[in-house]
């Protein structure tokens, strides 16, 4: 079972020392996430049930005078920007960091420069929230290095704003909240309207297995934003603020909405119910039932929301057929990347071996990196070390 890998803290610290000839003043670690159930519900003000992964992005940092930020990423190389410049002019991965600095500034905080070294073991493009982890880690680095009194909740909201306003992805707030507030050993039930978060202990005897198909896709593609626009259209046709306020019965009253809109809404409404049902199953230790909701979630995402993909469908179908698996589904935005399974703890090793042996990336969607199966423990949200 994979827990937190402490060596990445040492790697970040040592990387900082090699880069700058001294040790960092502090280190911030922010985890990626896997969503157990509740997909494409967050921007509809619905429910989600993610957990933080034992994989994280670590920034070792020290404040510097002036308003320049200098960072070196072990995976992506060097970057540098001036905080007063427009973050839209900063290209590549460091735009997330520049975006966080600028957003914090626009909230009236005085933000100062820092130098840092970044080390991450969250695969990017795998739908495991590597970008939210970078946003939250960077936000906390700004908070610490500038000694400002910005709350973690504000940092999470600004992370979502970076996605929405700077990166062009109209995502919800699930990833940032998980990365900021998750608790170890538990999934986090989030009501994405009230932002109330309730840790739900993972059931005994079951393990979460992350299944990375090795396929990759950028979320900034138009498909994600199209789904959101369709949901907004259905909500406004119903005269409600968001699909959170609609019921399945309401949908039958809509004759001016195309069938595709109804299917999208049908997914969101049924998925919200499945999240709450899944929470009950977890509390009652009814693992077969929990797995059934996950399987139904995948089917709904594939058939009604159309955000699965050939590789995700294949790995999920194989997982569901292997003994010891209670349920499996795609996780995150979809189209490519990762899926998640809940597996009997006594059969995890054999499950991983069997799925690995049976799974081949489909020819129409080749893998960009090796597929892999990883039993994962739920870790805690962002921390300062
Ligand atoms: C991405 C987004 C989240 C959420 C999921 C789908 O991870 O960042 O806000 O919408 O997709 O559930």
- Indicate the SS3 state at residue 201: strand
**Distance from Cα 147 to the centre of ligand 1, integer Å:** 31
For residues 87 and 324, give the distance between their C-alpha atoms in angstroms, rounded to a whole number.
48
Q: pLDDT above 90 covers what percent of the chain?
A: 94
How big is the CA angle at 272 (ends 180 and 377), to the nearest 5 degrees? 40
Chain mean position to CA 346: 28
DSSP lists the bridge partners of residue 201 as 186
How far apart are alpha carbons 353 and 35 in whole angstroms?
23
Atom of ligand 1 nearest to the CA of 48: 12
For residue 332, how far is its CA from the centre of ligand 1 (angstroms)? 5
Minimal-distance CA residue to ligand 1 atom 9: 172
Ligand 1 centre to CA of 161 (Å) is: 13
Hey, how many other C-beta atoms are within 10 angstroms of the C-beta on 285? 12
Angstrom distance (rounded) from CA 275 to CA 263: 18
* Average pLDDT value for residue range 199-227: 90
Residue 50: which region, alpha, beta or left (left: phi > 0; alpha: psi -120 to 50)?
Answer: beta
pLDDT tens digit string along 16-48?
999 999 999 999 999 999 999 999 999 999 999
Residue 254 — very low, low, confident or very high, per pLDDT cuts 50/70/90? confident
First-to-last CA distance in the chain? 24
Token pair 């968001």 in the structure block, residue? 242
DSSP 323-375: TTEEEEEE-TT-SSSEEEEEEEGGGHHHHHHHHHHH----TTS--SS--EEEE
Question: What is the reported pLDDT for 251?
Answer: 93
Q: Is the CB of 40 under 6 A from ligand 1?
A: yes
CA distance 307 to 302: 6
pLDDT tens readout for residues 255-278: 877 899 999 999 999 999 999 999
User: What is the percentage of the chain residues whose pLDDT exceeds 70?
Assistant: 98
Check if 379 has its Cβ closer than 6 Å to any atom of ligand 1.
no
**pLDDT on residue 6:** 84
Q: What is the pLDDT of residue 358?
A: 97
What is the model's pLDDT at position 220?
A: 53
CA atoms within 13 A on the CB side of 383: 13
Report the distance separating Cα 314 and Cα 363, nearest Å.
Answer: 12
State mean pLDDT over 68-96: 95
User: At residue 300, does pLDDT exceed 60?
Assistant: yes
Alpha helix ranges (H) inside 130-258: 130-145, 152-161, 174-181, 222-238, 248-251
Q: How far apart are CA 327 and CA 340, in angstroms?
A: 8
Q: What are the tens digits of pLDDT across the range 281-291?
A: 999 999 999 99
pLDDT score recorded for residue 219: 57
pLDDT at 1 over 60: no
Pocket test for ligand 1, best of 175, 229, 336 (most atoms within 8 A of CB): 175
In this prediction, residues 40-58 reach a mean pLDDT of 98
Is the CB–ligand 1 distance for residue 96 below 6 Å? no
116 lines ligand 1 (CB under 6 A): no
Tell me which residues are annotated as active site: 175
pLDDT tens for 158-172 read: 999 999 999 999 999
Model confidence at 218: pLDDT above 80: no
CA angle at 175 for the pair 120 and 331, rounded to the nearest 5° = 90
Distance 298 CA to ligand 1 centre (A): 15
* 258 Cα to the center of ligand 1, angstroms: 24
What is the DSSP secondary structure assignment for residue 185, as one 8-state letter? T
pLDDT tens figures, 336-353: 999 999 999 999 999 999
**Do 139 and 159 touch, CB atoms closer than 8 A?**
yes
Give this prediction's pTM: 0.97
Nearest Cα residue to 28 out of 107, 109, 118, 112: 118
pLDDT of residue 217: 80
Three-state secondary structure readout of 72-141:
EECCCEEEEEECCCCHHHCCCCHHHHHHHHHHHHHCCCCCCCEEEEEEECCCCCCCCCHHHHHHHHHHHH
320-356 core/surface letters (b: 16 or more CB in 10 A; e: else): bebebbbbbbbbbbbbbbbbbbbbbeeebeebbebbe
**Atom nearest to 38 CA in ligand 1:** 12
Does 332 contact ligand 1 (Cβ within 6 A)? yes
Q: Which atom of ligand 1 is nearest to the CA of 219?
A: 1
């Amino acid at each position: 079972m994979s827990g937190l890998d402490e060596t990445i803290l040492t790697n970040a610290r040592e990387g900082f020392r090699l880069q700058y000839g001294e040790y960092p003043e502090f280190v911030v670690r922010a985890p990626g996430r896997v969503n157990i159930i509740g997909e494409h519900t967050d921007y509809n003000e619905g429910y989600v049930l993610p957990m933080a992964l034992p994989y994280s992005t670590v920034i070792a940092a020290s404040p510097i005078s002036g308003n320049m930020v200098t960072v070196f990423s072990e995976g992506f190389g060097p970057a540098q920007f001036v905080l007063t410049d427009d973050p839209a002019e900063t290209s590549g991965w460091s735009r997330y960091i520049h975006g966080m600095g600028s957003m914090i500034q626009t909230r009236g905080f005085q933000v100062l420069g820092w130098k840092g070294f970044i080390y991450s073991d969250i695969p990017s493009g795998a739908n495991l929230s590597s970008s939210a982890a970078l946003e939250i880690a960077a936000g906390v680095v700004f908070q610490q290095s500038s000694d400002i009194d910005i709350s973690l909740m504000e940092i999470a909201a600004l992370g979502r704003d970076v996605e929405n306003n700077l990166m062009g992805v109209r995502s919800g707030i699930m990833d940032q909240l998980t990365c900021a507030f998750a608790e170890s050993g538990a999934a986090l039930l989030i009501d994405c309207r009230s932002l109330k978060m309730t840790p739900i202990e993972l059931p005994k005897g079951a393990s979460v297995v992350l299944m990375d198909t090795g396929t990759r896709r950028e979320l900034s593609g138009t498909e994600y934003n199209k789904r959101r626009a369709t949901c907004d259209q259905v909500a406004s046709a119903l005269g409600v603020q968001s699909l959170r306020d609609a019921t399945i019965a309401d949908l039958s009253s809509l004759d001016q909405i195309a069938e595709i809109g109804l299917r999208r809404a049908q997914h969101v409404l049924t998925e919200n119910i499945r999240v709450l049902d899944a929470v009950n199953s977890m509390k009652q230790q009814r693992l077969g039932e929990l797995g059934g909701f996950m399987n139904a979630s995948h089917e709904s995402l594939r058939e009604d929301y159309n955000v699965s993909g050939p590789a995700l469908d294949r790995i999920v179908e194989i997982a569901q057929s292997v003994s010891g698996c209670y349920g499996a589904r795609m996780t995150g935005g979809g189209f490519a990347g990762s899926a998640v399974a809940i597996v009997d703890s006594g059969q995890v090793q054999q499950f991983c071996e069997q799925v690995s042996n049976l799974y081949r990336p489909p020819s129409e969607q080749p893998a960009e990196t090796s597929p892999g199966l990883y039993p994962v423990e739920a870790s805690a949200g962002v921390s300062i070390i």
